[in-house]
Each structure stands twice: as structure tokens, then as C-alpha cells.
Amino acid sequence: MKTTEYFNNQVLFKRPYLKIDWCEKAIKEPLKREVQPDGRIRHWIYVNSEYGKYLRGVTLEDGETLHNAFFDRNFKE
């Protein structure tokens, strides 16, 4: 999976609980996908195994390069 320098240096440092498997699944098999006004793409999955929360992964415009990932408290299916 391709990632940005920001993701590697900032996101993983701030959120050590993130698992790359979750991020890959969010991109490949999202519950929902949405394009932001800036062209980046949001991808959501439900992470039930440990957290019972929705994870939002944000990719660049190419839909493949992961830029950000975090638990989204406001997501509604």
C-alpha cells in the first residue's frame, strides 16, 4: 500500500493503535466512499475486533495513496 510522508511520519506516530490491515481494508472494501471538495477520498470501515468504532481512511486523489486515518466518531451508516 502506498502512503504519504505525512502518514508515515505524523499519523502513525500520533496514533500507534492503527493497524495497516485496517487501512488497506478501508481502501479496498469500504462501507462508504466519499470525495472531498479538495479531491481526496474518504473511505470508512467498521473496526469491531477491538474498538467497535468506524475508521476513516483518507487517500489522495488517486484513491490508493493513504494520507490519513483515524476513528470517526460522527460517522453514521
Q: Is residue 76 part of a domain?
A: no
Q: Is residue 30 part of a domain?
A: yes
pLDDT at 64: 96
pLDDT at 48: 79
Residue 56 domain boundaries:
5-71
Q: Which residues contact 11 (CB under 8 A, 6 or more apart)?
A: 18, 68, 69, 70
Q: Is residue 20 part of a domain?
A: yes
Q: Is residue 45 part of a domain?
A: yes
Q: Is residue 49 part of a domain?
A: yes
Query: Whole-prediction pTM value?
Result: 0.91
Q: Is residue 25 part of a domain?
A: yes
Q: Say if residue 63's pLDDT is above 80.
A: yes
CB neighbour class for 21 (10 Å; exposed up to 12, middle 13-18, buried from 19): exposed
CB atoms within 10 A of CB 22: 19
**Over the stretch 9-52, which tens digit does the pLDDT of each residue have?**
999 999 999 999 999 999 999 999 999 999 999 999 999 777 78
pLDDT at 10: 97
Beta-bridge mates of residue 34:
42
**Structural domains of the chain, count:** 1
Q: Is residue 77 part of a domain?
A: no
